[in-house]
Amino acid sequence: MENIIISEHQHSQLTQEAIKLGASACVVITSGEIQVKDDLAALCNGEYPCPNYGLGASCPPNVEGPAEFRKWQSRSRYSLVVKIELPISVMFSDERKDVMRLLHHIVAGVEQKAVENGFEQSKAFAGGSCKDLFCEDQENCCVLAENEPCRHIASARPSMSGFGIDVTQLMLSCGWPGQKAEKSNASDTESTSWVAGLILLA
Ligand code: SF4
CA of 25 from ligand 1 middle (Å) equals: 27
Q: Among candidates 197, 172, 165, which has minimal Cα distance to 39?
A: 165
Mean pLDDT for all residues in the chain: 93
Q: What pLDDT shows up at residue 47?
A: 74
- Tens digit of each residue's pLDDT (9 = 90 or more) over 125-169: 999 999 999 999 999 999 999 999 999 999 999 999 999 999 999
Give 118 Cα–ligand 1 centroid separation in angstroms.
Answer: 27
Ligand 1, atom 5: closest residue by C-alpha? 57
Residue 161 included in any domain: yes
| C-beta of 126 in contact with ligand 1 (< 6 A) | no
In this prediction, the residues of the chain whose per-residue pLDDT falls under 70 are: 1-3, 183-187
CA 60 to CA 40: how far, in whole Å? 12
| In contact, 61 and 46? CB cutoff 8 Å | yes
Q: What angle do CA 106, 53, 132 make, to 5 degrees?
A: 45
Any bridge partners for residue 192, and if so which? Answer: 87
Name the residue range of residue 159's domain. 8-200
pLDDT at 151: 98
Q: Find out whether 178 and 172 touch, Cβ atoms under 8 Å.
A: yes
- Residue 186 has a pLDDT of 62
How far does residue 49's CA lie from ligand 1's centre (Å)? 20
Q: Does residue 81 lie in a domain region?
A: yes
Q: Is residue 3 part of a domain?
A: no
CA angle, residues 73, 174, 115, in degrees to nearest 5 = 45
At residue 1, the pLDDT reads: 44
Domain count, the chain: 1
Is 16 inside a domain boundary? yes
Q: Within a domain: residue 1?
A: no
For residue 2, what pLDDT is reported?
A: 53
Would you say residue 2 lies in a domain? Answer: no
